[in-house]
């Protein structure tokens, strides 16, 4: 059971972040300058590490505070409690992960000399994004706790994965218009590109539970790109 928050805030001037009522407006209204340095970010980083390692329930606020080099009441000063800390950590990680994935897709040339090599490069860049602890903690933790944080699920996935898929679909459509690819549906092709590359990596590593060696990663991605091009390359029938 999650007792939401004990709003007995008789602390003099702490607005005490509430459980994200609706949207990002509940962000800290105070200026960035704080009592000392950026304890807040240190706590968020520590929360990422500890939540990723222990899971939501087993992670103790004491441990997070210690990992951040901060006292426990400081955690409760910055964030209302464990649940709010978890939410903010997940959201900030999701934004960071999404941006890095979008950047990886943006780096895909629209008129590549070697299409196979460029798609392989994209797969590697995406794999790095997905293998970043900051990213796969999302995969694991969202899968785990989605039933208890349905709003997080909606917020992260709703404008997360689908936006990434659409970004890749746009790139692939350009390659289709340039006569390099032949796809019935770019969105579908984009989803299948993810399934064959990063999806396979995640599956093989059990969502990050088992580390994947570099050689195995290369083989998985090369195989995925190969299958993708067997299906969607414009010159797939010998050209």
Kindly list the residues in this chain that would bind DNA in the complex (CB under 7 A). Answer: 1-3, 5-17, 19, 30, 32-37, 39, 58-62, 69-74, 76-78, 81-83
Kindly tell me the number of DSSP H helices and DSSP E strands found in the chain. 11, 0
Please, what is the Cα angle at 23 between 20 and 29, to 5 degrees? Answer: 75
Closest to DNA by CB, 12 vs 179, is 12
Closest to DNA by CB, 44 vs 196, is 44
Report the alpha-carbon distance of residue 226 to residue 220 in Å, rounded. Answer: 10
Least Å from the CB of residue 14 to a copy of itself: 20
Q: How far is C-alpha 94 from the geometric centre of its chain's CA atoms?
A: 4
Find which of DNA, a copy of itself, none residue 19 binds, CB within 5 to 8 Å per kind. DNA
Q: What is the CA radius of gyration of the chain?
A: 21
Are 220 and 200 in contact by the 8 Å Cβ rule? The answer is: yes
Find which of a copy of itself, DNA, none residue 41 binds, CB within 5 to 8 Å per kind. none
Are 128 and 103 in contact by the 8 Å Cβ rule? The answer is: no
Find which of DNA, a copy of itself, none residue 3 binds, CB within 5 to 8 Å per kind. DNA
Element at 128 (helix H, strand E) = helix 115-131
Closest to DNA by CB, 72 vs 140, is 72
Bridge partners of 181, per DSSP, are 233
Closest to DNA by CB, 3 vs 230, is 3
Least Å from the CB of residue 155 to a copy of itself: 13
Find which of DNA, a copy of itself, none residue 53 binds, CB within 5 to 8 Å per kind. a copy of itself
């Amino acid at each position: 059971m999650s007792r939401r928050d004990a709003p007995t805030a008789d602390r003099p001037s702490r607005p005490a972040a509430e459980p994200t009522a609706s949207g990002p407006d509940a962000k800290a209204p105070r200026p960035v300058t704080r009592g000392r340095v950026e304890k807040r970010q240190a706590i968020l980083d520590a929360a990422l590490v500890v939540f990723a390692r222990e899971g939501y329930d087993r992670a103790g606020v004491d441990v997070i505070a210690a990992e951040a080099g901060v006292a426990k009441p400081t955690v409760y000063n910055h964030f209302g409690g464990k649940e709010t800390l978890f939410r903010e950590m997940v959201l900030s990680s999701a934004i960071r992960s999404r941006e890095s994935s979008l950047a990886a897709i943006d780096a895909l040339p629209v008129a590549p000399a070697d299409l196979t090599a460029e798609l392989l490069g994209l797969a590697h860049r995406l794999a790095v994004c997905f293998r970043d602890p900051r990213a796969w903690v999302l995969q694991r933790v969202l899968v785990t706790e989605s039933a208890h944080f349905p709003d997080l699920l909606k917020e992260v996935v709703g404008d997360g994965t689908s936006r990434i898929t659409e970004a890749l679909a746009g790139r692939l459509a350009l390659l289709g218009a340039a006569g390099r690819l032949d796809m019935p549906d770019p969105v579908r092709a984009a989803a299948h590109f993810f399934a064959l590359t990063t999806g396979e990596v995640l599956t093989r590593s059990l969502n990050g539970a088992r580390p994947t060696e570099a050689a195995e990663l290369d083989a998985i991605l090369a195989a995925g790109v190969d299958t993708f091009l067997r299906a969607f390359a414009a010159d797939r029938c010998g050209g």
